[in-house]
């Protein structure tokens, strides 16, 4: 189950990388540091599956930099990545959203302990429903 969780976030990172590449191709980046940033991003993508814990700080740094370096695409950063990397990334999430992700993680850990399947996206949708909707 942990690999499905990691695979989900790797797919989100790959999608975000595509956005960053497109940003560079559209010549919206005026300095040469964009290529270096993409190299570090690729480093994260290659290291994350092998050493997730050690890669979290690099991920925090790279995701946080998007908000500073590329504010025009900050709204495109998947919220799941902010939660996954934590640390400084949590500064870009409101308290209500952090609470939702905390409940989501609790459900994920509980499912893992009970050897039950866990669908991150489905559970996130269920938790995001208003209280009235879940009573049907």
Q: pLDDT tens digits, residue range 65-100?
A: 999 999 999 999 999 999 999 999 999 999 999 999
60 neighbors 88 (Cβ within 8 angstroms): yes
Does residue 2 surpass a pLDDT of 50? yes
Residue 28 domain-assigned (yes or no):
yes
Q: Which two tokens stand for residue 6?
A: 């990691």
Is 109 within the bounds of a domain?
no
What percentage of the chain exceeds 90 in pLDDT?
A: 71
Residue 54 pLDDT > 70, yes or no? yes
Q: Which of 110, 81, 90 is nearest to 14 (CA)?
A: 81
Q: Quick check: 91 and 26 in contact, CB under 8 A?
A: no
* Position 30 confidence tier, pLDDT thresholds 50, 70, 90: low
Question: What band does 128 get if pLDDT is binned at 50, 70 and 90?
Answer: confident
Give domain status of residue 118, yes or no: no
Q: Hunting for tokens 């480093």 — which residue is that?
A: 43
Q: What angle do CA 34, 39, 40 make, to 5 degrees?
A: 100
How many structural domains compose the chain? Answer: 1
Asked whether the predicted pLDDT for residue 109 surpasses 80, the reply is yes
Does some domain include residue 58? yes
Classify residue 21: in a domain, yes or no: yes
Find the domain containing 45 and state its range: 2-93
Q: Mapping DSSP to helix (H, G, I), strand (E, B) and coil, where does residue 4 land?
A: helix
Report if residue 18 sits inside a domain. Answer: yes
pLDDT at residue 136 greater than cutoff 50:
no
Q: Is residue 67 part of a domain?
A: yes
Chain mean position to CA 131? 26
113 located within any domain: no
pLDDT band at 32 (very low <50, low <70, confident <90, very high): confident
């Amino acid at each position: 189950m942990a690999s499905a969780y990691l695979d989900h976030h790797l797919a989100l990172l790959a999608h975000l990388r595509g956005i960053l590449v497109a940003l560079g191709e559209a010549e919206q980046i005026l300095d040469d540091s964009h290529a270096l940033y993409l190299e570090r991003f690729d480093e994260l993508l290659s290291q994350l599956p092998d050493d997730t814990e050690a890669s979290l700080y690099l991920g925090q740094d790279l995701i946080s930099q998007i908000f500073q370096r590329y504010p025009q695409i900050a709204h495109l950063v998947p919220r799941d990545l902010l939660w996954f990397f934590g640390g400084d990334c949590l500064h870009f999430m409101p308290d209500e959203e952090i609470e939702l992700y905390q409940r989501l993680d609790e459900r994920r850990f509980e499912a893992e302990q009970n050897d039950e399947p866990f669908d991150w996206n489905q559970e996130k949708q269920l938790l995001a429903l208003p209280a009235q909707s879940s009573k049907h």
